[in-house]
């Protein structure tokens, strides 16, 4: 089953907090492979998380 960007963006966020199920993981990977917007979105959320943690440590 295909997922859309809205569903993908939610999984991208969830993946920062919990391991995805196998199905979720595969759907997301396929979507990311095909979707430049979501790939960039994913990169940005990871960047934000790293930045927040860095800021949290006072660096």
Partner 1 sequence: MITPELIEAERPYLFRYALAQLRDRQAADEVVQETLLAALESCSSFAGKSAPRTWLTSILRFKLIDALRRKSREVLTESFEDTLDDSDIDALFDASGHWQHAISEWSGPEQELVAKQFWEVFERCSQVMPRRTAMAFVMREVIGMEIADICNNLGITATNCSVLLYRARMSLRECFEIRWLGGGAT
Which residues contribute to the site for partner 1 (CB under 8 A)?
A: 4-7, 9-10, 13-14, 16-18, 36-38, 40-41, 43-45, 47-59
Nearest distance in Å: CB 52, partner 1: 4
**Degrees to nearest 5, angle at CA 35 with 33 and 36:** 105
Query: Residue 22 or residue 55: which is nearer to partner 1 going by CB?
Result: 55
Contacts of 16 (CB under 8 A, 6+ apart): 45, 46, 49
Query: Residue 29 or residue 37: which is nearer to partner 1 going by CB?
Result: 37
């Amino acid at each position: 089953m295909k997922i859309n960007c809205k569903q993908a963006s939610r999984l991208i966020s969830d993946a920062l907090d919990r391991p995805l199920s196998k199905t979720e993981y595969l759907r997301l990977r396929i979507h990311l492979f095909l979707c430049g917007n979501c790939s960039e979105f994913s990169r940005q959320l990871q960047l934000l998380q790293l930045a927040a943690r860095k800021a949290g440590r006072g660096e």
